[in-house]
């Protein structure tokens, strides 16, 4: 399998430099990649509307009419698994990467070893996304990819898994906790949340990227923020 990587940068020189580093990383690690370069966010989104099968996006931020963060928001509307890396000459936008679950920020000029480390992490996360949660519902096995699971909550003796659909089973939240990976964190006694879906946290609520708002239990704000920071 070859990873599909898109580089989006309005500077041809910068794009070619990143492409050369990307090619060297792939050869060094014996990883097959397919790469494409786009000069603007609009040109990428035009192509993406017909073909969404990208694994890694290396995005400049300051580009023409549409910036890289706005482009990432568009992508995150229906794609939570693509790994987004911002490559920029500006540090002003770092906080906005949190909103679109960016894997990392790299400052220009790009450091070769830092880019290699980020690409290694991207591959690890793509492999993670292949894992599934197996549930038995009405005598049938249902496989839910972990990357689709937004959160789980418990009511009495039943846990509901909120993904593209909702799946309720008679199990404990602790059982599920053992099956999940480091993308997930316990929030209070009655909920587990996928950190990659969180767009904003206040003292009282957790906002997910799909518009869902979850009540934040008392005392959970600081532990949740620590979990988010350690995950990024």
b/e map 44-67, b = 16+ CB within 10 Å: bbeebeeeeebbbbbbbbebeeeb
Q: How many domains does the chain have?
A: 2
pLDDT digits (tens, 9 = 90+) for 15-72: 999 999 999 999 999 999 999 999 999 999 999 999 888 999 999 988 888 888 899 9
Based on the domain organization, do 100 and 151 belong to the same domain? no
Number of Cα atoms under 13 Å in the Cβ half of residue 6: 26
pTM: 0.65
Choosing from 94, 128, 162, the residue where a domain stops is 128
Q: Given this model, what pLDDT does residue 136 score? A: 87
Choosing from 128, 158, 175, the residue where a domain stops is 128
Choosing from 76, 105, 128, the residue where a domain stops is 128
What's the chain's length in residues?
232
156: left (phi over 0), alpha (psi -120 to 50) or beta: left
List of residues 6+ apart from 113 with CB closer than 8 A: none
Q: Given this model, what pLDDT does residue 222 score? A: 93
CATH number at residue 14: 3.40.50.2300
Q: Containing domain of residue 66, as a range?
A: 3-128
Alpha-helix runs per DSSP H in 85-140: 94-97, 112-128
pLDDT digits (tens, 9 = 90+) for 127-177: 887 788 889 888 888 889 888 899 999 999 999 999 999 999 999 999 999
Based on the domain organization, do 14 and 117 belong to the same domain? yes
């Amino acid at each position: 399998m070859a990873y599909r990587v898109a580089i989006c940068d309005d500077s041809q020189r910068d794009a070619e430099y990143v492409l050369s580093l990307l090619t060297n990383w792939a050869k060094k690690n014996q990883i097959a990649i397919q790469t494409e370069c786009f000069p603007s966010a609009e040109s990428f989104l035009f192509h993406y509307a017909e073909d969404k099968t990208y694994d890694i996006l290396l995005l400049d931020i300051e580009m023409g009419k549409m910036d890289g963060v706005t482009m990432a928001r568009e992508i995150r509307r229906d794609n939570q698994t693509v790994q987004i890396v911002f490559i920029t000459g500006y540090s002003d936008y770092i906080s906005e990467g949190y909103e679109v679950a960016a894997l990392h920020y790299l400052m220009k000029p790009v450091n070769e070893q830092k880019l290699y480390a980020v690409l290694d992490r991207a591959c690890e996360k793509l492999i993670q996304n292949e894992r599934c949660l197996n549930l038995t519902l009405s005598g049938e096995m249902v496989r839910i990819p972990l990357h689709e699971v937004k959160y789980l909550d418990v009511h009495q003796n039943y846990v509901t898994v909120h993904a593209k659909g909702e799946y309720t089973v008679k199990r404990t939240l602790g059982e599920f906790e053992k099956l999940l990976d480091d993308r997930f964190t316990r929030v209070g006694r009655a909920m587990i949340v996928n950190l990659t879906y969180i767009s904003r946290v206040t003292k009282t609520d957790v906002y997910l990227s799909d518009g869902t708002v979850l009540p934040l239990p008392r005392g959970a704000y600081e532990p949740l923020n620590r979990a988010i920071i350690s995950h990024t």
